[in-house]
Amino acid sequence: MTVTVSPRSPRQRQAILGQLPRITRSDGSPIRVLLVDDEPALTNLLKMALHYEGWEIEVARDGQEAMAKFAEFGPDLLVLDLMLPDIDGLEILKMIREAEGYTPTLMLTARDSVIDRVTGLTAGADDYLTKPFSLEELVARLRGLLRRSKAMEAPEDEVLTVGDLVLDGASREVTRAGEPISLTVTEFELLRYLMRNPRRAINRAEILDRVWNYGFGGRSSVVDLYISYLRRKIDAGREPMIHTVRGVGYMLRPPQ
């Protein structure tokens, strides 16, 4: 399994990444990233790319080391390989989700089938990358996860209500008809954007730009995938609130 490194030199890549605004924790300290992968060549490249961001990096080679370092290091971001020598990456993610809240997680996988991607994302991953990938894309994805998380900013004092659906920006809690709904970081931000624009048909390109903010040109299919996840959690067994607008995109509106 290999990373695709663009033909640019390390100095050129550093210059490109250095043009982006620095992201830090809310107290100004470096973002902490835990890389979990058993390929030294890969983790060395990723460490180099993320050090250009000014971030603090720890590496774990297997699942047991990952769990120990997660507890000790307290990362703001988790980059997790799906296939590890001892514990499956999905099992690690499940244990982490059960032990704490939501650390934004990017899953790395050599599998590109729809079922594998769905399995990883429904297990709690916020995004995924299929090997091989470019260093620039990985950095862009991680920066996007940080923008959608609360790691770099104080909680927002915002409460949104559409019908019986309520989103609290400070506590990051979501309820429908009083029942709590557990969302990943990305699902939360997608729902927040829909709730900020109720009864408006929003096209996929706008959602991708405002929620994912992919400077490298993300695929609109990721919007469809996350809309399907939201529907399972928001609309399951209830009158639908998330609607497809043919030829446009999606709309959230209260039940009729």
Closest CA to 145 of 106, 188, 175, 117: 106
Task: Give the Cα separation of 130 and 110 in Å (integer).
Answer: 5
Q: What share of the chain is helix, strand, coil (3-state, %, to 5)?
A: 40, 20, 40
Secondary structure element (H or E) that encloses residue 50, with its range: helix 40-51
48 and 89 in contact (C-beta within 8 Å)? no
pLDDT in tens, the chain (256 residues): 445 544 444 554 444 444 567 888 878 899 999 999 999 999 999 998 899 889 999 999 999 999 999 999 999 999 999 888 898 888 888 888 777 667 889 988 876 655 566 666 666 678 888 888 888 889 888 988 887 776 445 455 689 999 999 999 888 899 999 999 998 888 898 999 999 999 999 999 888 878 876 544 456 788 898 999 999 999 989 999 999 999 899 999 998 8
pTM, entire model = 0.66
**Packing angle between helix 135-147 and helix 10-18, nearest 10 degrees?**
20
Place of tokens 């594998």: 116
Q: Within a 10 A sphere around the Cβ of 17, how many other Cβ atoms?
A: 19
